[in-house]
Amino acid sequence: MERLVVDSPDNLRYRQITEEFFNAASNENDLKWPVWLGEWGEGFSREQTLAGLRWLRERNFHIRGHVFVWPGHKNLPKPIVDRIGTPRQSEIPGIVHDHIREIARATKGLIDEWDVLNEPFTNHDLMDIFGNEIMPPWFRVAREELPDVPLYLNDFSNHDATTDADHVAHFEQTARYLIDHGALLDGLGLQAHFNGRPNAPENILDVLDRYYRQFKLPVRITEFDVWTYDEELQADFTRDFLILAFSHPSVVGVQHWGFWETCHWRPSAAMFRSDWSEKPNAKVYRDLVLNQWRTHVAGRTDAAGKLGGRGFHGDYRVIVEHNGRRVEKNFSVNADEPAQVISIVLP
């Protein structure tokens, strides 16, 4: 969030790329529980986080909140860790609920969807202590506070059953447990991190089909990147992955887990080098997302004042000009809706 609200030449360029390339965003760390409580020190603050969220909201970004509960010991805040194994351990479930309520209220109106539970395959200390029954109430509390905000289960290595069958099975079991115990689960998050030996696209599609058959829930790729110094391979797989994600009916978006080499947990995975030059994977992204998968229609109306066309789902702006008069109008084309007729009356 510091990149969005603190001025510097690099931060200004960061914002330009953000607005040019993307229409959705998430915090990397700023809304994680220890960070929210101030345990990470300088560089993070609630005021800065909220200012960054407002910056995104003012520009009509779809904003993801990450994350209410990351239930591993190393990712929990001091008030929780200090109670584990003590007579005050029984206070922990209530403290978790209070945290969800507090941060949901502080960010209400600024977040479009939330990761409620993150990485339970490897982060399960709270479940080890209190049992799996501790998890569903996190979703119920979040739903009470945010009745219209989709709530997600998020994990990594859950995108290919041929390379990590245990992780995929655990993700399915966790999702099923949550649903069966009233968790009000709205979506599945697949982090989809890849290295220089990326997974076969057909294997990923098989898993997407598998989840779709079982849950019929939206899937968001929440942390996509390809970390390798082989830039040609990186670009080729980025192309293939974006195409497979775009092709699948369950996938509602792909979120890149960073795009600039200087501000990336895996610098080699970035789309822009430190000097802001574009890498081949950025060019692939630009061609697909900003060119091939956008609809641009221009033309003259017929004698009845009509002009028609087909377009991708999404948000549109139509501009009509005639004899020096000009009118703009915004509209959306959404899935499962009939063809629209947009009427514009010139002044």
Instruction: Show me where the domains of the chain are located.
Output: 2-292, 299-347
pLDDT at 335 (0 to 100):
83
pLDDT at 57 (0 to 100):
98
pLDDT at 100 (0 to 100):
98
Give every residue of the chain whose pLDDT is below 70, as ranges: none
pLDDT at 79 (0 to 100):
97
Residue 244 one-letter amino acid: L
pTM: 0.93
pLDDT at 321 (0 to 100):
94
Q: Which of 243, 268, 121 is closest to 191 using CA atoms? A: 121
Fold held by 2-292: TIM Barrel (3.20.20)
For residue range 77-122, list pLDDT tens digits in order: 999 999 999 999 999 999 999 999 999 999 999 999 999 999 999 9
